[in-house]
Amino acid sequence: MLNHSCLNKLLKQFSGRRLAVLGDVMLDEYLWGGVDRISPEAPVPVVQIKKETWRSGGAANVAANLRSFGSGAHVFGVIGDDGAGRKLCEILRADGIATEGLIVDSGRRTTVKTRILAQNQQMARIDKETTEAIDYECQKAILDHLTRILPDLDGVIVSDYAKGVIAGDLLGNIIERVKKAGKFVAVDPKLKNFHLYKKASLITPNTREAEAVLGRVFETEDDVLRAGADLLKISHSDAVLITRGEHGMSLFERNKKPITIPTQALEVFDVTGAGDTVIATFGLSLATGCSMTEAAEIANLAAGVVVGIIGTATATVESVMNHFDRIHLRAAAPDNETT
């Protein structure tokens, strides 16, 4: 278990790292408003929009999480030749994220997720996207550019939202080249592409994704333990981290006993983007030389920060440290009251 001093020291080392994020980038659009009547046209609320905001989403949000910790971030993916793609690039560049790895494909549309919120509650989500696999030329352009900058990277994070970027032989080639260079590849997976993640350093499915891969429901802790062992065998990966919501996280490493880390969330308002924060923080922890267990502890804390914020969010060194202190103050409160 990390103490305050050790955690602070490790988090401050994040600023010296450089990681690449490969995957499905998105633009997250938020329409904020209020509701005071029901539509006469249908039994639905009428939302009066008062504010619009935009954030990077999907793989782009993983890169934003890296930058919020002060590390260098290069994002690789595909956008359309459209206003949403240009808006996303503008946001990324303003955050200091390198976008040379983003390929513009005029035959696709940039993925946009529009969330309508009233009184801070999400009322609806509208998705605009292209999900067909990217073509050979896009794959080659991504592979060539990532290979060129690989010597300057500490590792690669793959953020797969099944929108078409993780396709064909692209990921297999990347995993082979990155691991040959002595660096890690951490994957936030999707069911349809699970067969493409073989030999990754780390795979981070949530419970639902792990159940879908194995074709069974986890009803007990023993079920989860068996699942971790099976996923290690199927994926040939070095480690599997099953994220389990209110039940925390379970880490499985080859030739080691599994470890379950209880959730560190104090409030849960919105789980949007929590997986992005987990994979980004885990990757940064590995890049600083942390063990898998230490990386899982830090990622768990960072996830506890972002689920307490409405909308796509990122964590920082300061917010993680504050969260750590709040957890320990709350744990100590009953003892303090009895003395």
Q: Which residues are known catalytic residues?
A: 276
Q: How far is residue 201's CA from residue 180's CA, in Å, rounded to a whole number?
A: 12
Q: Position of tokens 């470890």? A: 259
Residue 149 tokens, joined: 């900058």
Tally of CB atoms within 10 A around 20: 29
User: What burial letters (b/e) apply to 218-257, b meaning 16+ CB within 10 Å?
Assistant: beeeeebbebbebbbebbebbbbbbbbbebbbbbbbeeee
Contacts of 62 (CB under 8 A, 6+ apart): 21, 23, 157, 159, 188, 276, 279, 280
- Residue 303: half-sphere exposure toward Cβ, Cα within 13 Å: 26
Contacts of 222 (CB under 8 A, 6+ apart): none
